[in-house]
Structure 1
Amino acid sequence: MDFLNAMGGTAGSFFGAVIPFLFVLTVVVFVHEMGHFLVGRWCGVGIHAFSLGFGPELFGFNDRRGTRWKLCAIPLGGYVKFHGDANGASVPDPETIARMSPQERAISFPTQPVSKRAAIVAAGPIANFLLAIALFAGAIWLGGRYELPARVSSVEPNSVADTAGFKPGDLITAIDGQPVRDFNAMYRTVTGAAGTSLAFTVQRDDRDITINATPATIDERTPFGRHRIGRLGIRSPAGSEAKLVHYDLGDSLRLGVHETYFVVERTFSYLGKLITGRESADQLSGPIGIARVSGEVAKNGGVGGLVGLIALLSVSIGLLNLFPVPLLDGGHLLFYAFEVVRGRPLSERAQEVGFRIGLALVLMLMLFAAWNDILNLGASWKNT
């Protein structure tokens, strides 16, 4: 009986994670590919297929312009196949292009001016950033957000804050000269500055003083894996001090842009620390980790939590696709940059080698992320 209950619980957890994961990923992928699709249509390029997922087609239909809209069996991405492409990754098909009539070349993706090709390729990541901004801004505009003053309610003994001289009642107004809006903004700055000296402007007894402190580095385990964050050792005010602040549409959009920029900035900060050896690659997560997080967010955060996760994942996928790796959008843009500088495209051989290298890098990254997910999942089960 215990075995059956365990199996039932495992099955429930599985479907409780997979369904939110598919919802989140489908929205993000659909918006990304729709960016490519709309700009491609606007540029007059023929489109053979718009696919959500890879592999065998489950079902689909043809629109009046002959584009096949389809849902495929492997729901881990998608693609738009333009006229003249050898596959969904927009790899050119030289033999097919050579046999094209003038009318076909006019609507073929590889024969378009480099400016149009670059616009079509960049439209996918841009659509992801716009989606994130819209979701962040919409959530703030519709529901407002609770804000706590950046006031120190208590200081942990023997912590960095205690040693630096923070006291209960201190109000943090700026960090390194940048104004601090609320406790959450202060927390974000501190957690992202582990081992970095910060200058805090503190209001105490109606006067401003400066306190220098270097957040300690601690390991924090999250559903995405282990993260190294900075910690001062101060506690926030009681929740009763939080106030719900409503913003108009303009301010909501501004804050939506700020939230999106924060994700981008934090990602680049992590990558910089990874390159210099100050961060570990075990924080990278893949589909398994995202599925697990999706299930937990759906369970604990509901629709609002899933909307926030969609926004976060949309920024991440948009940013990832801009990396200058052949096969990704950024790789195509890199090839187009070489084409502009040289006055002609790279040779077919060079492009083929580049795409193979890009495929190998993407596959290795996916495998490494999946391995991290498995290790994190094992650690989670061990701790339960």
Structure 2
Amino acid sequence: MIDIISQLGGVAWTIVAFVVALSIIVGVHEYGHYIVGRWSGIRAEVFSLGFGPRLWSRRDRRGTLWQVAAIPLGGYVRFLGDADAASAGPGRPVDPALRRQTLEGAPLWGRFATVAAGPLANFILSTVIFAAVIAIQGVAVDRVQVGEVAPTPPGIVNELRPGDEILSIDGRPVPDWPALFSAGRDLPAAAAFDWTVRRDGAEVTVRGPHPAPPLIAGVAPRSAASGAGLRPGDVIRAIDGTPVFRFDELRQRVEAANGGAILLRVWRPGAGEADYTLVPKRQDLPTADGYEKRWLIGVTGDSGYFTPATRAPGPFEALRTGIAQTWSIIVGSVSGLWAMLSGQIGSCNLGGAISIAESTGQAATTGFTSFVLWIGVLSAAIGFLNILPVPVLDGGHLAFFTWEAVTGRPPSPRALRILTSIGLAAVLSLMIFGLSNDILCR
């Protein structure tokens, strides 16, 4: 009974987190349509967060009805004269004097800008989130300097202190952060090494752990590690009874298991040690040359028992970082979609609403910052999805407007009906396919 109640609580938390994240992303997307449409002289009749029966509503002085509906799985802006919430197809009849205030009767530039503003708003949201997080958390200083020291398991010696500047490890010079990461890859598995640091203006040698210990920095959603209950901050002490001291040992043992179950002895700060049995999953992993299939349990590492000392970035530096992160998600979405269509990776890499909801719940469980960053990732991904040239999506409308700009006339009503039907069928098929993957590809 306790297990059932715990699981129900986890499901409720997942649903709440998913609804909150989706409402933020959809609200920003639709507000992009609304505000640019208003600036373009197009009147919005309804701004709805959700579908179905109305739970709350208010009409503003411009005549727009703002409402929250009962089904929180999307939203829409219905402009004057729109036939439906998707603004698809021929519109409803309106007074000819008001035609300029409809989406259909607006100039081409106004229609294009209004439709493009939705995905653009998603990209702006992602950029702002990433920039704000980096501005708050800071960026690593150029020197390899210790910020905060993390808890270590019993028996692991760590004499590093906040403020130490790392000069060398086991005789290997560490002039910069790449050199530290290289040392983490190259040093042999051992419980401790000599670390030479500059402390209070003097060079001293202290004992410290492996620079790339088997410390879990992140847990992938819907992975073997996530299902077993592993968390960031956990330290893997042994695999199948054999002690491990660096993260690469975990990778090697997972590959060697070839899909078989592995037993991990894990230490968690404040909780002590416990055993976890995991069964690795075969997954497609991006590489420099494309993709390769590997056995994974879904954890990331290569972070040591300390965080870097940080500095506050300038606003432009934070903004550049936010733009770069948003752009990397768009590029990754394009390459992933192409790899799936070309058969380089399996179709199970495409998830549906269930996997997105589970990932959102796990991000919220990890912490507020992880949840906010996940909203940024989702917002960029949804923005990308919406600019695909598929009728019923924003990208489909933009494709029609581009056709009109090139030919001087919009597509015929018959062509619009046919293409819209095809686009709707494609989107529904994709949703069903994603949901089936959520169930079958576990």
- Could you say which TM-score interval applies, normalised by the shorter chain? 0.7 to 0.9
Contact 1:325/1:331 (CA < 8 Å) preserved in 2? yes
**1:293 alignment partner, one of 344, 351, 359:** 359
Give, as a single letter, the amino acid of the residue that structure 2 aligns with 1:350: A
Question: Structure 1's 12 and 338: CA in aligned 2 closer, same or farther, altered over 3 A?
Answer: same
2:69 alignment partner, SS class = strand
Check the 8 A contact 2:285/2:293 in 1, yes or no: no
Structure 1 residue 86: Cα displacement: 0.2
Separation in 1 of the partners of 2:41 and 2:409? 22
Counterparts of 1:321 and 1:77 in 2: how far apart (Å)? 13
How much does 1:222 deviate? 5.1
Aligned partners of 2:120, 2:439: CA distance in 1, in Å?
31
Contact 2:52 2:70 in 1 (8 A): yes
Which segments of 5 or more consecutive residues in structure 1 lack a partner in the other structure? 158-167, 170-190, 198-214, 224-230, 380-384
Name the CA shift for 1:192/1:243 in 2 (closer, same or farther; >3 Å): farther
Q: Please name the residue that 2:402 is paired with.
A: 337
Partner of 1:40: 37
Match of 1:267 in 2: 333
Query: Taking structure 1 as reference, are residues 51 and 156 closer, same or farther at Cα in structure 2, changes over 3 Å only?
Result: farther
**Aligned CA distance change for structure 1 residues 51 and 241 (closer, same or farther; 3 Å):** closer
Hey, what does 1:322 align to over in structure 2? 387
What RMSD in Å do the two structures reach over aligned CA positions?
2.5
The equivalences for 1:1-384 within 5 A come to 4-94=1-91, 96-97=92-93, 100-145=94-139, 149-150=177-178, 151-152=181-182, 153-155=184-186, 193-194=286-287, 196=289, 217-220=293-296, 236=302, 238-240=304-306, 242-300=308-366, 302-376=367-441, 379=442
- Aligned CA distance change for structure 1 residues 365 and 216 (closer, same or farther; 3 Å): closer
* 2:370 counterpart letter in structure 1: G
Displacement after TM superposition at 1:245 (Å)? 4.0
- Residue 346 of structure 1 and its aligned partner are, at CA, apart by 0.7
The alpha-carbon distance between structure 1 residues 146 and 221, as it changes in their structure 2 partners (threshold 3 A), is farther
Q: Which amino acid aligns with 2:383?
A: G
One-letter code aligned to 2:15: V
Contact 2:89 2:416 in 1 (8 A): no
SS at match of 1:325: coil
Deviations 1:270-306 (A, max 9, x none): 1221122111121112221111112111111x21111
Q: Distance in 2 between matches of 1:6 and 1:288?
A: 21
How many Å separate the matches in 2 of 1:326 and 1:24? 26
Task: Give the corresponding residue for 2:236.
Answer: none
TM-aligned CA deviation for residue 115 of structure 1:
1.1
TM-score when scaled to structure 2?
Answer: 0.66
Q: For 1:54, what is the secondary structure of its paired residue?
A: strand
What is the Cα deviation at residue 242 of structure 1? 3.1
Q: In 2, distance between residues paired with 1:156 and 1:374?
A: 42
Q: CA deviation at 1:92?
A: 3.8
How many pairs are equivalent? 312
Q: Distance in 2 between matches of 1:46 and 1:75?
A: 24
Per the alignment, in what secondary structure is the counterpart of residue 374 of structure 2? Answer: helix
Provide the residue aligned with 1:184 in structure 2.
Answer: none
| 1:66 to partner: Cα distance | 1.5
TM-score, normalised with respect to structure 1? 0.76
Q: Is the 1:62–1:68 Cα contact (8 Å) retained in structure 2? A: yes
Higher Cα radius of gyration: 2
Q: Per-residue deviation at 1:360? A: 0.6
Secondary structure at 2:287's aligned position in 1?
A: coil
- Decide which structure has greater helix share: 1
**5+ long unaligned stretches in structure 2:** 145-176, 189-209, 212-283
Q: Displacement of 1:129 after TM fit?
A: 0.3
SS in 2 for 1:154: helix
CA 1:155 to 1:276, structure 2 compared with 1: closer, same or farther past 3 Å? farther
Equivalent residue letter for 2:32: G
Q: How many angstroms does 1:219 deviate by?
A: 4.4
> In 1, are the aligned partners of 2:90 and 2:413 still within 8 Å (CA)?
no
| 1:145 shift after superposition | 4.0
Q: Deviations over 1:133-168 (max 9, x none)?
A: 0000001112214588222223499xxxxxxxxxx9
Residue 102 (structure 1) shift: 2.9
Is the deviation greater in 283-292 or in 318-327? 283-292
Whether the aligned pair in 2 keeps the contact of 1:50 and 1:67 (CA below 8 Å) is yes
